[in-house]
C-alpha cells in the first residue's frame, strides 16, 4: 500500500491529577492510502473521536499520547512541534465536526467563515479570498443566486450548515478529511445528501477520507474499508462489503444486528437486537479481551490475555482467539 497515513501502535490516555488514567486508545495500528475512504465503526466510547483528535494534534487537556507514532507524509505528528501541526491542521488534514452549529461562528456570514480558513493558510487578497470562497460554496452545492453566502448560520438548515463546514474543510485542498459523525444531527434526507457529497468529493478531489460512525449503514454507503473499534482497540479491519456481509468478530456481528428489525409474525411485531451488557470501564480494563464479558462466544483464554492480530482471507484482520 502506498500510504498517506500510518498510525503505528498508538496509545492515548486520559487522566487528571488524583484520577485513574483511562486507556482511550491502545496499540492502534493501521495504514491509509492517499485515495482511500476508510470508516471507523463502534459504539460511543470506543475511541473513534479520540483517534480523530489525535490525528490532528487536538487532544483535549488531560489527554496525551503515551506511545506510538502517527506518520503523515513522512512526518511523525506525535513528535512534531506546534508550528508544524499548525501548518497541517486545516490545510493538509481537515476535520468535519459532528455538530456544525457549534463549529461555525454564529455572528459571521457564511462566505466570511470560508474566507477566514483560506486566509489562515494562504496569502490571498480580500478579492481573491472572496472569489475562492464562492467557488468552494458552489462545490458543496450552493448556487451563487441562492443567497447562502450572506446568510448567518442560524438562518440555515442543519444540512446546509454541514455543507458550509465541508466547504471550510476542502478550502485548502487537503490530502485527508476526517468526518466525525457528520450526519448524526441531520434528518434522513439530509444525511443521504451529505454522504453523497462526501463520496463525490473523495472521488473528484482524489483525497483520503476517514468517516466515523456508529451506524453501519452510513459507512456502507460511503467507504471502501472499515475498522471496527471497541474499548480503544481495533477488533476487526477489512473491505467494507466483505466485513458487513461476513463479519468475523463477535462484536462486529452484534453491531450489525443492532437496530435491524426482526419480524417473526407480523409487521407490527418488531424486535430490535442490541449488544448485551455494558462497555468496560476504561480506567480498570482487565488483562484479557475487553469484549469478553459481553461476548456470547467467550472462551477461558479470553479472560487471561488480549488476542493478537490474525490475518484472514480477502485482506481482513481480526483480533479474536477463535481465529488464532
pLDDT digits (tens, 9 = 90+) for 38-76: 999 999 999 999 999 999 999 998 999 999 999 999 999
18: pLDDT confidence band, cut at 50, 70 and 90? Answer: low
Domain membership of residue 81 (yes or no) is yes
pLDDT of residue 271: 46
Residue of 202, 198, 179 whose CA lies nearest to 190:
198
pLDDT of residue 55: 95
pLDDT of residue 279: 87
Q: C-alpha angle 6/83/24, rounded to 5°?
A: 45
pLDDT of residue 21: 83
- Report whether 167 contacts 137 (CB < 8 A): yes
Q: Over 70: is that where the pLDDT of 264 sits?
A: no
- Report whether 173 contacts 205 (CB < 8 A): yes
Domain membership of residue 132 (yes or no) is no
Q: Over 50: is that where the pLDDT of 260 sits?
A: no
pLDDT tens, residue by residue, 104-132: 999 999 999 999 999 999 999 999 999 99
CA 209/CA 186 separation, integer angstroms: 20
pLDDT of residue 268: 41
263: pLDDT confidence band, cut at 50, 70 and 90? Answer: very low
pLDDT of residue 58: 93
Domain membership of residue 37 (yes or no) is yes
284: pLDDT confidence band, cut at 50, 70 and 90? Answer: confident
Q: Over 90: is that where the pLDDT of 262 sits?
A: no
Domain membership of residue 274 (yes or no) is yes
Domain membership of residue 13 (yes or no) is yes
pLDDT tens, residue by residue, 126-179: 999 999 999 999 999 998 888 889 999 999 999 999 999 999 999 999 999 999
Count the neighbouring beta carbons within 10 Å of the beta carbon of residue 127: 8
CA 312/CA 252 separation, integer angstroms: 15
More confident residue, 208 or 273: 208
H-type helices in the chain, by residue range? 48-55, 82-88, 100-103, 110-121, 126-139, 158-169, 188-204, 216-220, 240-245, 250-257
Residue numbers of the domain that contains 242: 3-92+172-323
Domain count, the chain: 1
Domain membership of residue 210 (yes or no) is yes
CA 139/CA 143 separation, integer angstroms: 9
CA 245 distance to own-chain centroid: 21
- CATH number of residue 88's parent domain: 3.40.50.300
CA 278 distance to own-chain centroid: 22
72: helix, strand or coil: strand
CA 272/CA 252 separation, integer angstroms: 16
Q: Over 90: is that where the pLDDT of 265 sits?
A: no
Averaged pLDDT for residues 289-310: 94
pLDDT tens, residue by residue, 211-249: 999 999 899 989 999 999 999 999 999 999 999 999 999
Domain membership of residue 98 (yes or no) is no
Averaged pLDDT for residues 86-93: 94
310: pLDDT confidence band, cut at 50, 70 and 90? Answer: very high
Cell of 74: 513522512
Q: Over 70: is that where the pLDDT of 17 sits?
A: no
Averaged pLDDT for residues 280-296: 90
Segment among 49-53, 125-129, 291-295, 311-315 with least mean pLDDT: 311-315
pLDDT of residue 237: 97
| Residue environment code for 215-254, b if the CB has 16+ CB neighbours within 10 A, otherwise e | bbebbbbbbbbbbbbbbbbbbbbbebebbbeebbbbbbeb
Domain membership of residue 158 (yes or no) is no
Q: What is the mean pLDDT of the chain?
A: 90
Amino acid at each position: 500500500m502506498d500510504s498517506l497515513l500510518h498510525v503505528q501502535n498508538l496509545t492515548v490516555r486520559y487522566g487528571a491529577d488524583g484520577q485513574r488514567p483511562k486507556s482511550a486508545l491502545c496499540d492502534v495500528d493501521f495504514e491509509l492510502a492517499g485515495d482511500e475512504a476508510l470508516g471507523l465503526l463502534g459504539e460511543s466510547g470506543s475511541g473513534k473521536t479520540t483517534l480523530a483528535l489525535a490525528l490532528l494534534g487536538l487532544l483535549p487537556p488531560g489527554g496525551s499520547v503515551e506511545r506510538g507514532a502517527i506518520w503523515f507524509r513522512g512526518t511523525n505528528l506525535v513528535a512534531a512541534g506546534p508550528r508544524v501541526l499548525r501548518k497541517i491542521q486545516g490545510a493538509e488534514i481537515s476535520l468535519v465536526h459532528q455538530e456544525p452549529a457549534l463549529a461555525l461562528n454564529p455572528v459571521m456570514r457564511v462566505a466570511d467563515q470560508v474566507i477566514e480558513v483560506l486566509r489562515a493558510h494562504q496569502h490571498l487578497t480580500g478579492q481573491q479570498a472572496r472569489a475562492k470562497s464562492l467557488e468552494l460554496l458552489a462545490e458543496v452545492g450552493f448556487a451563487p443566486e441562492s443567497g447562502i453566502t450572506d446568510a448567518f448560520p442560524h438562518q440555515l438548515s442543519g444540512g446546509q450548515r454541514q455543507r458550509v463546514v465541508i466547504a471550510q474543510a476542502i478550502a485548502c485542498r487537503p490530502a485527508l478529511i476526517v468526518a466525525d459523525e457528520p450526519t448524526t444531527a441531520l434528518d434522513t434526507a439530509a444525511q443521504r445528501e451529505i454522504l453523497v457529497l462526501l463520496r463525490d468529493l473523495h472521488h473528484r478531489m482524489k483525497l483520503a477520507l476517514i468517516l466515523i460512525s456508529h451506524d453501519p449503514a452510513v459507512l456502507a454507503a460511503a467507504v471502501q474499508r472499515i475498522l471496527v473499534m471497541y474499548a480503544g482497540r481495533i477488533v476487526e479491519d477489512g473491505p467494507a462489503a466483505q466485513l458487513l456481509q461476513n463479519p468475523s468478530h463477535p462484536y462486529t456481528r452484534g453491531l450489525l444486528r443492532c437496530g435491524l428489525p426482526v419480524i417473526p409474525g407480523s409487521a407490527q411485531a418488531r424486535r430490535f437486537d442490541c449488544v448485551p451488557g455494558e462497555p468496560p470501564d476504561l480506567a480498570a480494563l482487565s488483562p484479557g479481551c475487553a469484549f469478553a464479558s459481553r461476548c456470547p462466544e467467550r472462551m477461558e483464554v479470553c479472560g487471561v490475555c488480549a488476542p493478537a492480530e490474525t490475518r484472514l482471507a480477502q485482506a481482513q484482520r481480526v483480533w479474536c482467539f477463535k481465529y488464532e
